[in-house]
Amino acid sequence: MAGNERSRRLWMVQWEREVDNNAPTLPMDTQRRDAEIMKERDIEAQLEFMKLAMLVQQGSENTNHDSRDHHHRKFICLDIGNIRTHQRCLTIGRTTLIILLTTVSMSLLLLYLNVNVKLCRDLDEELSFNQSRLSHYQGEEENLNHLLRANVSSLLRGQILQRDRTSQLLCNRTQILLEAETLKWRLKTVQENFSLLEEEYINLKRSHLLVPRDSVLLQNCQRGDPDGESLMCHYCSPGWQYFSMSCYLVSMSAHSWPESVQWCRSEGGHLGVIDSTEEQYFILGLIKRTTWIGLSDSDMEGEWRWVDGTPYDKATTFWSFNEPNNAWNEDCVTMSPSTGWNDDKCFKSYNSVCEHEAHKLRINGDIISN
């Protein structure tokens, strides 16, 4: 019964293995496949070992049975007591034992050969699989070698190009260094020339005045001596208007007459003094409304005086009709673009016109300008 149970288990294991072998296999990686193959080999070895054990056990049982028969025959032969019969019994027993041992040996040999054939078949399958993998790896190796050769070729071309560029850069560097040395020498020469020119310019600036040709300094120039070797030029400060060697400035704000006197002094002049018809009309062209001038009789009524001490000439006056009339202590004089001169109260606020002598500039030799 034990032998039948083991046989049944053995055939169940074989049946499960055949079911597993017939089942569809899915792709797996190399390590997993190798593990499955080793597992199958272990199972097959266990099955073969179980088969061998069963055969040995069966042989042992048969041997025991034959031994019992032999003893029985021996006893029979001994009971008979015939020597010839006894020898024949021994010969039959030996022959039976030899046949049994030969049968067991052949069974073991067949089992061994079956196991070896199975192992050879598995080894052939593994060899075929390894050859397939080797072919795949060889293809990948060929591709990698091709890519490596391409990369090496590209690297060599890059090295050649880099070598050419390096050579060109070295040539350019040498050329740049030569040009830099040349530029340094030129810069040194220019700096030396600049120092000489700067020194010469300083000397010229000390002894000469650079004046643009259209400068106001040159608009009113006359020869300063009979031989004509020098010029006398009259000019005014910015904002002042030049006329007949004098400069004029009209205030932008209104003040009383005394305040106007102080303001003109702060500007470097005095209230306007008119001693000619040309000057009268020039100032009329400057003013737009009633404006203080530098004439007053505040010190003594009826005795008119200019602020700069110029004598008052009654013949050169530009009084309006019925002026001056000294109405309500009118001691200071204004001029208007429409009516002329008028005496007025000194505390009133009007614009004022200032005057000072024009500045003078003597130029020796020719005029040099840009």
Mean pLDDT, the chain, whole residue set: 79
Q: What is the distance between the alpha carbons of residues 263 and 254, in angstroms, rounded to a whole number? A: 11
How far lies 349's CA from each of 146, 251, 267, 289, 332, in Å?
Answer: 107, 12, 19, 12, 11
Which SS3 state, helix, strand or coil, does residue 322 take?
A: coil
pLDDT for the residue numbered 328: 77
pLDDT for the residue numbered 25: 44
Spatial contact of 320 and 311, defined as CB atoms under 8 Å apart: no
pLDDT for the residue numbered 240: 93
**Phi/psi of residue 226, nearest 5 degrees:** -60, -35
Spatial contact of 247 and 360, defined as CB atoms under 8 Å apart: no
**Phi/psi of residue 49, nearest 5 degrees:** -65, -40
Q: For tokens 């072998």, name the residue.
A: 21
Which stretch of DSSP H or E encloses residue 331? none
Spatial contact of 234 and 220, defined as CB atoms under 8 Å apart: yes
Q: What is the distance between the alpha carbons of residues 221 and 316, in angstroms, rounded to a whole number? A: 28
Q: Would you kindly state where each structural domain of the chain is located, as residue ranges?
A: 2-21+28-152, 217-364
Nearest 10 degrees: CA dihedral of 101, 103, 108, 114?
170
DSSP-assigned letter for residue 312: P
Spatial contact of 250 and 213, defined as CB atoms under 8 Å apart: no
User: Is domain 217-364 annotated with CATH 3.10.100.10?
Assistant: yes
**89-125 pLDDT per residue, tens:** 778 878 888 888 888 888 888 888 888 888 888 888 8
**307-362 pLDDT per residue, tens:** 988 888 876 788 988 888 877 788 999 999 988 899 999 999 999 999 999 988 87
Low-confidence ranges of the chain (pLDDT < 50): 1-3, 19, 22-28, 63, 67, 70-81, 368-370
pLDDT for the residue numbered 181: 92
Spatial contact of 220 and 358, defined as CB atoms under 8 Å apart: yes
pTM over cut 0.85? no
Q: Which two tokens stand for residue 119?
A: 């192992």
Query: Residue 66: CB partners within 8 Å, gap ≥ 6?
Result: 93, 96, 97, 100
Tell me which amino acid residue 253 is. Answer: S
pLDDT for the residue numbered 341: 93
Compute the radius of gyration of the chain from its Cα atoms: 72
Measure the N-to-C terminal CA separation of the chain; round to a whole number of Å: 140
Q: What is the distance between the alpha carbons of residues 194 and 211, in angstroms, rounded to a whole number? A: 23
